Amino acid sequence: MGFLDFLRPKTKGTEVDPLEDLVLGRMKVGFLVDYDLATWTVTAYNRYDFDGDAVKEWELTEGHKKRYLERWEDDGVGWSLSKKIPIGSIDGDVRRQIIDNDDPPSRVTYQGIEYFLESSSAGYMMSGGDGAREELIKWEFLGEEGDKLLTIEQWGETELEASAGKPVAEYQFENILPGA
């Protein structure tokens, strides 16, 4: 690389604008981000559409840990961070309740904490942000004090996934860098 190469125009689409692209809401697969004294790698990106309401999701990996960072807009921007949990770790037979009644109970208990049904939505997930649309139903539960989240997703007739997490703020994530 020559001394004056920085003056040459870059090929459109290959450059990263540090003021616009290195923000949490514009991360891409391969980016790095610091959270909670660890550096996480963005290993996947998905976009959800719930009746016109868009939700972005980044899979973050650090060692053997995986977390899911979600961003949505509803009277402002909201963020949450969660991890997958076995559906059977939620007290009671939530799987059977959903399969038999097409809905979960209005309150569930996980690790001794009671969660209350806040919302339900039907929509689509697009892998990579623009892949094939996969249908899902999502139920969101909040802990009594609003500082804990629990989500149950139904994919198809009987495939259920659950995750537990918490609301987070954008400022908690630092040093966003493009990957190699």
Kindly report, residue by residue over 126-170, the tens digit of the pLDDT. 999 888 999 999 999 999 998 999 999 999 988 999 999 999 999
Q: What average pLDDT is seen over the chain?
A: 90
Residue 4, pLDDT score = 45
Residue 6 — pLDDT band, cuts 50, 70, 90?
very low
d(CA 77, CA 116): 22
The answer to which of 2-11, 18-27, 45-54, 150-159 has the lowest mean pLDDT is: 2-11
CA separation for the pair 23, 71 (Å, rounded): 12
User: What is the mean pLDDT of the segment spanning 89-100?
Assistant: 94
- Flag whether pLDDT at 21 surpasses 90: no
Please report which helix (H) or strand (E) contains residue 99, including its range.
Answer: helix 94-101
pTM over 0.85: yes
Residue 11: the pLDDT is 47
Q: Kind of pairing, strands 107-110 and 77-85?
A: unpaired
Cα 171 to Cα 17, 24, 25, 35, 138: the distances in Å are: 20, 9, 12, 10, 27
CA 75-132-99 angle, 5° bins: 75
Of residues 14 and 154, the one with the higher pLDDT is 154
- The whole-number average pLDDT for the span 87-111 is 95
Task: Copy the structure tokens of residue 43.
Answer: 């290993």
Contact 129, 45 (CB under 8 A): yes
